């Protein structure tokens, strides 16, 4: 999915004038023997780069579109080549020109950026540690050391007073890499072997490695082109994992690997033929099953295998049906199923392990029209149900012996709560996380019988943070079709509405059924303490108000997402919080699509917009099945090979709908190695905006030449881009300190 974004990873270039001069010389070298009509940028680097137009015509449904910037596309091989060809040099020169222009235009904010950066990272506890959890005789936790970017994964045998064993020090592994990510840590049932996945390019294509935790030695086994994670069989020598289609980057094959064998000799145990599905493999919470999942927008499918039978055949849980989404959880002699079978907002069912076909399912919790059954956590004596209604999350605790139930109490008007790491069945304790726009992330152990809870850890904000200094609110905006859309907001106390409009940053996502919950972010304090209001528009396309909220913001209803955002902004004007001269909008990935759509539809609504890794060339991407993530998203956006969807998508596609009009100040970010939203989409979009917009407002493109969709790795470096985005807005507000 074109998932949620992170504003992170920008590194400022030094000696700007010298670099601009050197860049100009390089551009001249790259451009020799190229005619003027193929020159991608202007020679005057003190002006905004101007991309050459080389028309590419695309025709479908007897309709032609002309893309003058299609030439900006590079393959992965071109991007990483040690001997770049002419096309590669031209594209890279253009992207570097954009970076140099951005640096020049933001040069006067350097001191503010530096101040913001040190302010933001200064709130991060340098030597931090997660709350340990107990699994299979060991306490597991993650810690950070002062001045180090990456986590250290640790464990202790039986007692927290015991000797620490460092499983992985990612700081050591990351040395020499511009980008480094470790994910999918899986310890074998006998506690001796650690499997982990490593990505050094930010394409989310991993190599799985294995470490002997007793000797500390790496095994020779390496599994390339893999997804992060996997599942151990109970023999401790068999590991199931997933590989990706090298073109689409979709996980489509599940393999059985025996430790000590070559990857080429692994057994293929499952191959997904339908390119609309994500595929993966994991262990059930009980450890008794290895489970293959296949998930598309509308359909789920599972295949199960007893973990004590690693050479057996996977069996389908129930025949695949479209549409039918469900999730399974094993417990003792049955499976629980969260399903939308005849239940728009999902219901809970169960079935014996010996008969998992849908015909044997029995209802446990019925469907409710006003409540989304989001997830479950299973324990020996209790069942915890996570629900959503009225744009808030609830945790419902059910005693499995007596049937008695209760809801946990959360007092703030807007908050985020979730079941945390719960790996044990036989316990009375639910570990959960809680956060709000004013309350730092907190981890609790809640006794489901006595209803008493213990705070295990609250995120420390170095330098101090007083939640009572800030005010959070929940509003509802009536949008153009009469729907009431929730808005969560936070600001420093002392704000008086209907006087001087306050600067505001309005955020939203609104796709894939992903809800944008109101959680705490210490970085945000740098805006709140300077007088900004931060707000979230819970627009349709997420699931804040139930499954229908999602259905009403996808496919041929997608424009509701954009209209909701614009109308929420206008409601905030009407309520006296802010004004168009002081409103800023931010969204990333599919939320960047939202940004692109609203600046075309209502540019006068915003003074500034930050579009992070924005998906803006909707029609071209969805017509190109060679681009990663296209084929499995037809049920989310529509397939433009169908004329009805083509016409509808074309009517809102930000790149196609750029107009000759004024646009707000804009900062657009991307990464050269982005596999979710290819860098050329925001690059082309900025080039087209430069050519067509009629204003003198800022239009800046920040290209991270080393990373992909998530930006920089590491916990500090990422905030360079955060500081840049904040400085961009503060400067527009005339706030220099």
Measured CA to CA in angstroms, residue 406 lies from 317, 367, 376, 394, 414 at distances of 32, 18, 15, 10, 20
Between strands 699-704 and 665-671, the pairing is parallel
For the question of residue 704 being annotated catalytic, the response is no
Using the Cα atoms of residue 120, residue 123, residue 124 and residue 130 in order, give the sign of their dihedral: negative
**526 contact partners, CB below 8 Å, separation of at least 6:** 116, 119, 120, 726
Q: What's the token pair of residue 425?
A: 């069945």
| Distance (Å, whole) CA 515 – CA 237 | 39
Angle between helix 559-574 and helix 590-601 axes, rounded to 10 deg: 60
- Segment (H or E) for 430: strand 429-436
Contact 136, 81 (CB under 8 A): no
Q: Give the CA distances from residue 13 to residues 56, 106, 706, 716, 736, in Å, rounded to whole numbers and listed in that order.
A: 34, 11, 14, 17, 21
Q: Which two tokens stand for residue 208?
A: 């799985």
Structure tokens, 708: 């992909």
Catalytic residue chosen out of the listed positions 488, 511, 526, 589 = 589
709 is catalytic: yes
Identify whether 719 is a catalytic site residue. Answer: no
Count the neighbouring beta carbons within 10 Å of the beta carbon of residue 657.
16
CB atoms closer than 10 angstroms to residue 604: 11
DSSP-derived letter for residue 433 is E
Beta bridge partners of 389: 392
Catalytic pick from 303, 330, 709, 719? 709
Give the whole-angstrom CA distance, residue 655 versus residue 615: 9
Per DSSP, the chain holds a count of helices (H) and strands (E) of 14, 38
Looking only at the bridges linking them, the beta strands covering 533-537 and 484-492 are antiparallel
The DSSP code for 492 is: E
DSSP state of 441: P
**Tokens 């945790």 label which residue?**
395
Q: Which whole-number Å values give the CA distances from 504 to 490, 530, 539, 733, in the listed order?
A: 10, 11, 17, 10
Decide: 109 and 731 in contact? Cβ < 8 Å: yes
Query: Which of these is catalytic: 67, 674, 704, 706?
Result: 674
* Catalytic (active-site) positions: 589, 674, 709
């Amino acid at each position: 999915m074109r998932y949620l974004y992170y504003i992170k990873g920008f590194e400022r270039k030094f000696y700007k004038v010298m670099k601009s001069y050197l860049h100009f010389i390089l551009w001249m070298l790259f451009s020799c023997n190229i005619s003027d009509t193929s020159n991608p940028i202007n020679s005057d680097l003190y002006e905004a780069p101007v991309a050459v137009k080389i028309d590419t015509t695309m025709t479908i449904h007897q309709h032609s579109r002309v893309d003058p910037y299609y030439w900006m596309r590079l393959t992965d091989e071109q991007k990483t080549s040690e001997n770049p060809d002419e096309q590669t040099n031209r594209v890279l020169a253009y992207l570097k020109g954009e970076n140099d222009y951005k640096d020049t235009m933001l040069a006067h904010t350097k001191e503010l950026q530096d101040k913001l950066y040190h302010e933001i990272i200064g709130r991060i506890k340098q030597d931090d540690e997660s709350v340990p959890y107990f699994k299979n005789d060991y306490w597991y936790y993650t810690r950070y050391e002062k001045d180090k970017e990456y986590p250290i994964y640790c464990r202790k045998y039986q007692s927290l007073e015991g000797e620490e064993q460092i499983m992985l020090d990612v700081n050591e592994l990351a040395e020499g890499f511009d980008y480094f990510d470790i994910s999918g840590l899986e310890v074998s049932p006998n506690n001796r072997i650690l499997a982990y996945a490593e990505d050094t390019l930010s394409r989310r294509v991993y190599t799985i490695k294995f470490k002997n935790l007793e000797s500390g030695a790496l095994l020779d086994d390496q599994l390339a082109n893999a997804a992060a994670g996997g599942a151990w069989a109970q023999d401790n020598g068999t590991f199931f994992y997933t590989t990706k289609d090298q073109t689409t980057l979709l996980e489509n094959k599940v393999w059985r690997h025996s430790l000590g064998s070559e990857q080429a000799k692994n057994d293929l145990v499952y191959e997904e033929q339908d390119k609309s599905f994500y595929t993966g493999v994991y262990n059930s919470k009980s450890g008794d099953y290895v489970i293959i999942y296949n998930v598309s927008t509308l359909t789920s499918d599972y295949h199960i295998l007893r973990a004590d039978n690693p050479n057996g055949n996977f069996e389908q849980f129930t025949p695949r049906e479209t549409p039918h989404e469900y999730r399974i959880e094993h417990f003792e002699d049955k499976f629980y199923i969260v399903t939308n079978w005849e239940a728009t907002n999902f219901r809970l069912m169960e079935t014996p392990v010996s008969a998992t076909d849908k015909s044997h399912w029995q209802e446990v919790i019925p469907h409710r029209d006003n409540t989304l059954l989001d997830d479950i956590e299973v324990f020996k004596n209790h069942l915890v149900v996570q629900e959503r209604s009225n744009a808030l999350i609830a945790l419902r605790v059910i005693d499995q012996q007596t049937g008695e139930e209760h809801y946990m109490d959360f007092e703030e008007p807007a908050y985020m709560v979730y079941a945390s790491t719960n790996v044990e069945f036989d316990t009375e304790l639910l570990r959960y996380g809680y956060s709000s726009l004013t309350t730092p992330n907190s981890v609790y152990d809640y006794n489901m019988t006595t209803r008493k809870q213990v705070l295990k850890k609250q995120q420390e904000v170095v330098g101090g943070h007083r939640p009572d200094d800030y005010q959070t609110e929940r509003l509802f905006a009536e949008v153009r079709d009469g729907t009431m859309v929730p808005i969560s907001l936070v600001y420093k106390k002392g704000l008086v509405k209907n006087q001087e409009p306050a600067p505001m940053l309005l955020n939203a996502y609104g796709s894939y059924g992903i809800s944008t919950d109101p959680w705490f972010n210490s970085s945000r304090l740098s805006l709140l303490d300077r007088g900004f209001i931060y707000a979230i528009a819970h627009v349709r396309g997420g699931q804040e108000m139930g499954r229908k909220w999602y259905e009403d913001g996808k496919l041929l209803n997608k424009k509701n997402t954009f209209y909701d955002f614009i109308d929420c902004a206008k409601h905030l004007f009407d309520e006296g919080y802010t004004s168009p001269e002081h409103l800023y909008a931010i969204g990333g990935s599919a939320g960047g699509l939202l940004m692109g759509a609203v600046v075309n539809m209502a540019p006068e609504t915003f003074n500034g917009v930050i579009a992070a890794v924005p998906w803006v060339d909707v029609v071209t991407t969805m017509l190109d099945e060679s681009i990663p993530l296209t084929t499995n998203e037809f049920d989310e956006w529509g397939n433009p090979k169908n004329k009805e969807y083509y016409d509808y998508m074309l009517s809102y596609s930000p790149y196609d709908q750029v107009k000759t009009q004024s646009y707000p100040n804009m900062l657009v970010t991307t990464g050269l190695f982005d596999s979710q939203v290819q860098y050329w989409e925001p690059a082309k979009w900025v080039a087209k905006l430069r050519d067509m917009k009629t204003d003198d407002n800022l239009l800046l493109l920040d290209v991270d030449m080393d990373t992909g969709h998530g930006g920089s790795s590491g916990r500090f470096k990422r905030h360079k881009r955060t500081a840049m985005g904040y400085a961009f807005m503060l400067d527009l507000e005339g706030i220099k300190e």
